[in-house]
Chain A
Amino acid sequence: MSVSSSRKITQILGAELDKLVTLPLIGLTLMVTFILNLGLAAAFTSVDLQEAAGTQNILNTGLSSMGYLQAGFIILGILTTCSEYTGGQIRTTLTTIPWRGFQLSTKYLALAIITIPAASITTASGVLYTFIMMKDTAVVIEIDEMIKSLAGATGYLTLTTLLSAAIGALLRRTTPALVVLLGYYFIVSPLSKDFLHNTKYFFPDTAGYYMFMPPSSDEINVLTPMEGTGISMLWTLVFITAAIVFYRKRDA
Chain B
Amino acid sequence: MRAFNAELSKLISLPGIWLALLIGAFAPAAIAALDSIAQKEEIIAGVSTRLSEVGYIGLALGVQGVIILGVLAVSSEYLTESSESGGGQQITTSLTVVSSRIHFLLAKAGAVTVISILLCIAAIMTTVSATHLILGEYAPAFEWSRLIGAVCYWTFTALLALGITFLTKNGIIPLAVLIINSSVVSFSVLLYRVTKLAFYLPDRAGAEMFMFTDNTSTGSLFDGFHTPFTGGLVMFAWVVVVFIVAAIVFHRRDVAA
Contact = CB atoms under 8 A, between A and B. Distances in A.
A194 interface: yes
A183 B178 CA distance: 11
B79 A46 contact: no
B191 A71 contact: no
Given A71-B176, A88-B82, A179 B19 contact: yes
A175 B190 contact: no
A178 B177 CA distance: 11
Interface string A79-105: 100000011100000000000000000
Interface of A is mostly: helix
Contacts of B12: none
Contacts of A75: 172, 176
A235 interface: no
Given A47-B194, A87-B81, A176-B19, A186 B31 contact: no
A186 B183 CA distance: 6
B126 interface: no
Nearest to A64: B190
B193 interface: yes
B180 A46 contact: no
Interface in B86-115: 87
B38 A43 contact: no
Contact of A87 (B80, B172, B184): B80
Given A75-B172, A195-B34, A86 B183 contact: no
B116 interface: no
B158 interface: no
A87 B87 contact: yes
A87 B82 contact: yes
B73 to A, nearest CB: 12
A25 interface: yes
A68 interface: yes
B175 interface: yes
Given A187-B183, A191-B61, A178 B193 contact: no
A113 B170 CA distance: 26
A174 interface: yes
A14 interface: no
Contacts of A88: 82-84
A87 B187 CA distance: 34
Contacts of A67: 185
Contacts of B170: 25
A182 B175 contact: yes
- Max chain A CB contacts within 10 Å: which of B84, B183, B187? B183
B184 A175 contact: no
Interface of A: 25, 40, 43-44, 46-47, 50, 67-68, 71, 75, 79, 86-88, 173-176, 178-179, 182-183, 186-187, 190-192, 194-195
7 contacts: A43-B194, A68-B180, A68-B185, A86-B79, A175-B16, A178-B172, A195-B34
Interface of B: 16, 19, 23, 31, 34, 37-38, 61, 64, 68, 71-72, 75, 79-84, 87, 170-172, 175-176, 179-180, 183-185, 187, 190-191, 193-194
Nearest first, the 5 closest Cβ-Cβ pairs linking A and B are A88-B82, A186-B183, A190-B184, A182-B179, A47-B193
